[in-house]
Structure 1
Amino acid sequence: MTTSTTLFPPEKVNIPYATRILTFAATAWLVVATVGQWLFGLYILLFYGKSALTGDFERWNNVLPHGYVEGDWKGNTIVSLHILLAAILVMGGPLQLIPAVRRHVPRFHRWLGRLYVTTAIVVSTAGLIMTWTRGTIGDTTQQISISIQALYIISFALLTIRSARARQVARHRAWALRLFMVVNGVWFFRVGLMGWLLINGRPAGFDPETFTGPFLTALSIFTYAIPFSLILLELYFFARTKQNKALSLVTAALLFLCTLITGIGIAGATMGMWLPRL
Structure 2
Amino acid sequence: MTETNVPPVEKVPAFHAPRILNLAASAWLTTASVGQWVFGFYIISFYGKSTAAGEFEKWNRVLPHGYVEGDWKGNLIVGLHVLLAAVIVIGGPLQLIPALRAQFPRFHRLLGRIYVTIAILVASAGLFMIWTRGGIGDSTQRISISIQAIYIISFAVLAIRCARSRQLEKHRRWALRLYMVVNGVWFFRVGLMFWILVNGGPAGFDRETFTGPFLTTLSILTYAIPLSLIILEMYFFAQKNQGKVFTIATSALILIFTVIMGIGIFGATMGMWLPRLK
CA distance in 2, matches of 1:203, 1:77: 33
Aligned counterpart, 1:99 = 98
Over residues 177-206 of structure 1, what are the superposed CA-to-partner deviations in whole Å (9 max), with x where a residue is unaligned? Answer: 000000000000000000110111110000
Cα distance in 2 for residues equivalent to 1:145 and 1:40:
22
Aligned to 2:5: none
> What is the identity, as a one-letter code, of the residue corresponding to 2:43?
I
AA partner of residue 124 (structure 1): A
Task: Indicate the residue corresponding to 1:62 in structure 2.
Answer: 61
2:135 maps to 1:128: no
Q: Given the two structures, how large is their TM-score scaled by the length of structure 2?
A: 0.94
Note if 1:257 corresponds to 2:243: no
Equivalence for 1:160: 159
TM-score, normalised with respect to structure 1: 0.94
Q: For 2:83 and 2:271, how far apart are their aligned partners in 1?
A: 23
For residue 81 of structure 2, what is the aligned residue in structure 1? 82
AA aligned opposite 2:39: F
Aligned to 1:244: 243
Aligned-partner Cα distance in 1 for 2:104–2:269: 31
The corresponding residue for 1:7 is: none
**Cα offsets for 1:74-96 (capped at 9, x unmatched):** 00000001000000000000000
| Deviating 4+ runs (over 4 angstroms) | none
Give the deviation of 1:213 after TM superposition.
Answer: 0.2
Provide Cα deviations, 1:104-148, integer angstroms capped at 9, x if missing partner: 111000000000000000000000001001113200000000000
2:268 maps to amino acid: A
Deviation sequence 1:5-36 (CA, Å, 0-9, x none): xxxxxxxxx9x810000010011000000000
**Cα contact 1:136–1:143 (8 A) shared by 2:** no
In structure 1, distance between residues paired with 2:81 and 2:108:
23
Q: CA RMSD in A?
A: 0.9
Corresponding residue number in structure 2 for 1:235? 234
Higher-RCO chain (CA-CA 8 Å, sequence separation at least 6): 1
> For the residues of structure 2 that align with 1:209 and 1:217, how far apart are their CA atoms?
15
CA distance in 1, matches of 2:233, 2:245: 16
Larger CA Rg, structure 1 vs 2: 2
| Whole-Å separation in 2 of the counterparts to 1:51 and 1:137 | 22
Give the percent of matched residue pairs that are identical in Structure 1 and Structure 2. 70
Q: Which amino acid aligns with 1:48?
A: Y
Distance in 2 of aligned mates of 1:85 and 1:257? 30
**Separation of aligned partners in 2, 1:30 and 1:137:** 31
Indicate the residue corresponding to 2:7 in structure 1.
none
Deviations 1:31-69 (A, max 9, x none): 000000000000000000000001100000010011001
Cα deviation digits, residues 204-229 of structure 1 (max 9, x gap): 00000110000000000000000000
Residue number in structure 2 paired with 1:179:
178
Amino acid at match of 2:139: T
The letter for the 2-side match of 1:25 is A
Amino acid at match of 2:173: A
CA distance in 1, matches of 2:201, 2:76: 36
Which residue of structure 1 aligns with residue 31 of structure 2?
Answer: 32
AA aligned opposite 2:125? A
Mark the runs of 5 or more structure 2 residues left unpaired by the alignment.
1-12
What is aligned with 1:49?
48
| Displacement after TM superposition at 1:101 (Å) | 1.0
Counterpart-to-counterpart distance in 1, 2:74 and 2:65: 10
Per-residue deviation, residues 231-256 of structure 1 (Å, max 9, x unmatched) = 00000001111110000000000011
How many angstroms apart in 1 are the aligned matches of 2:52 and 2:82?
A: 14
Give CA-to-partner distance per residue, 1:146-188, whole Å, 9 cap, x none: 0000000000000000000000010000000000000000000
Q: Take 1:114 and 1:222, find their aligned partners in 2: how far apart are those partners?
A: 28
- Answering whether residue 212 of structure 2 is matched by residue 216 of structure 1, we say no
- 2:67 aligns to what SS in structure 1? coil
Q: Which moved more, 1:226-235 or 1:16-25?
A: 16-25
